Amino acid sequence: MAQIERVGVSLEKELLGAFDKLIAGKGYQSRSEAIRDLIRQQLSSDRLSNEKAEAVAAVVLVYDHHATAIMERLTELQHSHFLKTISSLHIHLDHHDCLEVIVLRGKVGEINRMGDKLVSIKGVKLGRINLLANKGL
Amino acid sequence: MAQIERVGVSLEKELLGAFDKLIAGKGYQSRSEAIRDLIRQQLSSDRLSNEKAEAVAAVVLVYDHHATAIMERLTELQHSHFLKTISSLHIHLDHHDCLEVIVLRGKVGEINRMGDKLVSIKGVKLGRINLLANKGL
Amino acid sequence: MAQIERVGVSLEKELLGAFDKLIAGKGYQSRSEAIRDLIRQQLSSDRLSNEKAEAVAAVVLVYDHHATAIMERLTELQHSHFLKTISSLHIHLDHHDCLEVIVLRGKVGEINRMGDKLVSIKGVKLGRINLLANKGL
Amino acid sequence: MAQIERVGVSLEKELLGAFDKLIAGKGYQSRSEAIRDLIRQQLSSDRLSNEKAEAVAAVVLVYDHHATAIMERLTELQHSHFLKTISSLHIHLDHHDCLEVIVLRGKVGEINRMGDKLVSIKGVKLGRINLLANKGL
């Protein structure tokens, strides 16, 4: 079990009131949970600005599956030496387009380079890289 | 087959040189492909600023699977009336944490509201919503 | 004087340690100050997703001052009925380029529309709109 | 005068139609101008991911001017050895809050470090750093 600490935060009454209203609208059950989420997001974005940090990434691609070279290239890239593909999910969106989610592990710099290569494949229409810090979440 | 048009673009020699270098680094095979990608991204981000537009989203969550209430809540939320979950992918990251990717369809506004609810569940440590425009990519 | 409240937040020891390290690196003197900033950023981004909210914006433009039509257009746009320009700052970057910062007030939707018009003027090379919530910061 | 080149881009009729509609809404007079802007934005964001690149930045701060230590700290930081402040603009927003825009030159890494220090000053409520690539826009 993680050890829990309790810290005090002082803030203006008006700021607190606005925050309580916002997080109630988002469905939070407690302030601590909402503040923990803010802290985790900041830690995560800080870590992911370091090229050498280990990370997990979910790469989301939309591509035209008629462009037959794509699947080969995707497979090739997933067998890179630097990254380890954990899993992937393939969805048929419509007659033309597929959505593919590829979850992989590696260093931030390598993930970004790989992401660029995936997005630049002819036929890939949109690509997003979701970097997630691996530790200390 | 999509009908292809050819348009002329005039730009400064220096700007073109810098662009060619950038896209070569990213692995693009042709300028047209790189420019099409820029155009698609802009169209997509424009569309996704409209709350009522239809979209596909890949929601990426990291959560502590010891927090047993999460899975129930995730399932509940995926059975909302407004959104249609297409598929999901579950990955065991380590002793504590799972990564879940949920792909769903619906209106941009509904997807964002649902995303807020998912992220605010106690035990969900990080959440990202990848909105992807549904049409005209 | 703003009325100050003190609230307790519970969080994992490891998360707290990582946060303390991060904010020390950024130069924060206290945890409360860092958490207040996270809360304000979230409130601000929430408010600015509402097209009708009142906001202040700092629009940053880089443009080629040889494109003589720009200054006229800039002046024209700043005399729109919907927005109120408060002040502007003009800087000579080099032989070709100027940087102009325009601070204005108005509704989020109007500011964004105006921003699009500024950026699309021929000769404007880069443009950024910094939306800042007007109240409850 | 910059030397102009003309290149051909091939793209699907439907994609072109959607793009033409979008840029007309934004107020662009020509496709070339809109595509040049997309290219410049991508070049700029690529360059600004390099810590050592030279850049110009417009830092936008909102702060409570009753917190008297701020102005001293702001002045101090602007006299850093690594960065060169070009100009600044100060606006009285209301009874409490000021908006300050500081335009400075330096390396991307130094600008980001300085930005963190500005935002973390007690009394600074919001801060944004607008990094703008210095060359080849």
Confidence of residue C137 (pLDDT cuts 50, 70, 90): very low
Residue B86 has pLDDT above 90, yes or no: no
Mean pLDDT of B77-93: 80
Report pLDDT for D118.
86
Instruction: Inform me whether the pLDDT recorded for D41 exceeds 90.
Output: no
**B29/A137 Cβ within 8 A:** no
pTM reported for the whole predicted model: 0.77
SS3 C35: helix
Q: Which of C3, C15, C31 sits opposite A9 (nearest CB)?
A: C31
> Which CATH number does the domain A54-133 belong to among 3.40.605.10, 3.60.20.10, 3.40.50.2300, 3.30.70.1150?
3.30.70.1150
pLDDT band at residue C134, thresholds of 50, 70 and 90?
low
Q: What is the DSSP string of C99-115?
A: EEEEEEEEEHHHHHHHH
Weakest mean pLDDT among A20-24, B105-109, C34-38, D45-49: D45-49
Give the per-residue pLDDT at B118: 86
Predicted local distance difference test score (pLDDT) of residue D101: 92
Q: What is the DSSP track for A88-119?
A: EEEEE-SSSEEEEEEEEEEEHHHHHHHHHHHH
Using an 8 Å CB-CB cutoff, list chain D residues near B35. 9, 11, 35, 38-39
- Start-to-end Cα distance in chain A: 15
Q: How much is the average pLDDT of C69-95?
A: 80
Domain ranges of chain C: 13-47, 54-133
For residue B90, what is the nearest residue in chain A, using CA coordinates? A87
Percentage of residues in chain C having pLDDT higher than 90:
18
The four Cα atoms B103, B108, B111, B117 give a dihedral, to 10 degrees, of 150
Q: State the Cα–Cα distance between residues D90 and D106, nearest whole angstrom.
A: 21
State whether residue A119 sits within 8 Å of chain B by CB: yes
Question: Which residues on B lie below 8 Å from A30 (Cβ)?
Answer: 122
HEC profile of D11-53: EEHHHHHHHHHHHHHHCCCCHHHHHHHHHHHHHHHHHCCCCCC
- Rounded to a whole number of angstroms, the distance from the CA of C10 to the nearest CA of chain A is 4
The two three-digit tokens of residue D89, written as one number? 């603009």
Question: Which residues of chain A carry a pLDDT beneath 70?
Answer: 1, 81, 134-137
D101-130 pLDDT, tens digit each: 999 889 998 888 888 888 888 888 888 889
Alpha-carbon span C28 to A45, nearest angstrom: 17
CB-based contact (8 Å) between D46 and chain B? yes
The mean pLDDT of D61-81, rounded to a whole number, is 79
Q: CB of B38 within 8 Å of any CB in chain D? A: yes
Say how many C-beta atoms besides its own lie within 10 A of residue B7's C-beta. 17
Q: Closest chain C residue to A8 measured between Cα atoms?
A: C8
* Residue B136 pLDDT grade (very low, low, confident, very high; cuts 50, 70, 90): very low
Return the residue of C nearest to A17 by Cα: C136
- Most A CBs within 10 A among C1, C5, C20, C37, hence the mutation to make, goes to C5
Query: Do the chains contact at A6 and C2, CB–CB below 8 Å?
Result: no
**Predicted confidence (pLDDT) per residue in B36-59, tens digit:** 999 988 888 888 888 888 999 999
**CB proximity under 8 Å: C 84-103 to D:** 86-89, 91, 93, 97, 99, 101, 103
Closest chain B C-alpha to D130 CA, distance in angstroms: 20
Question: CB-based contact (8 Å) between B136 and chain D?
Answer: yes
The residue among D11, D13, D47 with the most chain B CBs within 10 A of its CB, best to mutate, is: D11
Predicted confidence band of residue C45 (pLDDT cuts 50, 70, 90):
confident
